[in-house]
Structure 1
């Protein structure tokens, strides 16, 4: 009898679920940005849940198509590739949104950050100004923001996968 299990590589699984998770993340980010709720910390945790869910689903998909097996390293690779794809989609979306859809978004975000710092009352006016200068520098809006999005999301997905892969891995028996 022929084996009907289709082998899927870690890269294939990462790209597939990176695209799916990236699209969900972009839609969620658009809703938050359009409604002005992006600054809500609690809603930011939903993005982490989406990323974790995407990694777990990618691992499950990979194992389904590889006889139920996935090594720890394969799990890390899948998550890193997925994270890079998610970062690319998110970075492109953010670049387009900030530069073409809502060109005042960056200034609104800076104004909200300034208001929070001033409302806390823990900093002098001089410290608030210094913090705002650094915040403005750390909010890239050019094409380089896409590269940073890819790198940051791939790295964060890798970090999350250090734990997730330890849970979802299922090594092949050594003497099969």
Structure 2
């Protein structure tokens, strides 16, 4: 009887690499002051899909060419969680220790955008900014980053696992 490969081991490997890539993307975004640039959101999403595919393909090849849908889904969620923890820890560290002004600059840009739109009164803009500041604590941003990455990763895993899975002809083998 051959042993089945561990989804946790594969997820840990690809999750760490994914987390490092997310850290690099975040660092470039902060250093170029492009926190509101949608290109970085697309780049992050593309990296997530790529690492989900890579992790599922490796698991499938280690498992004799087979991977059940549920295994792929669990693998994708775990890979996303590991990457999200690393990325969120880095982002929190960067925002607290390296450059604490990042969040303040982002709030100022958001205020400018709201003022340019002209659809809100000054009082409503002030209220929106106060509410945004409440969600800028390091603990909240860390937890939101981890859960955000996990949820998006899980949703993408629903799709990716459907394409990567390959069931055994005899499920009792």
Instruction: Name the CA distance, whole Å, in 2 between partners of 1:114 and 1:144.
Output: 21
Match of 1:91, SS state, is: helix
- Which runs of 5 or more structure 1 residues have no equivalent in the other structure? none
TM alignment of 1:28-43, pairs within 5 A: 28-43=25-40
Coordinate RMSD, CA, aligned: 1.8
The aligned length equals 172
Match of 2:170, SS state, is: coil
Match of 1:162 in 2: 158
Range moving further from structure 2, 15-24 or 128-137: 128-137
Match of 1:16, SS state, is: helix
- Is 2:23 aligned against 1:26? yes
- Which runs of 5 or more structure 2 residues have no equivalent in the other structure? none
How far apart are 1:33 and its partner, in Å? 0.8
Match of 1:113 in 2: 110
- Is 2:164 aligned against 1:145? no
So what's the TM-score if we normalise by structure 1?
Answer: 0.90
Instruction: Name the CA distance, whole Å, in 1 between partners of 2:87 and 2:150.
Output: 12
So what's the TM-score if we normalise by structure 2?
Answer: 0.92
TM alignment of 1:52-63, pairs within 5 A: 52-63=49-60
How far apart are 1:7 and its partner, in Å? 4.0
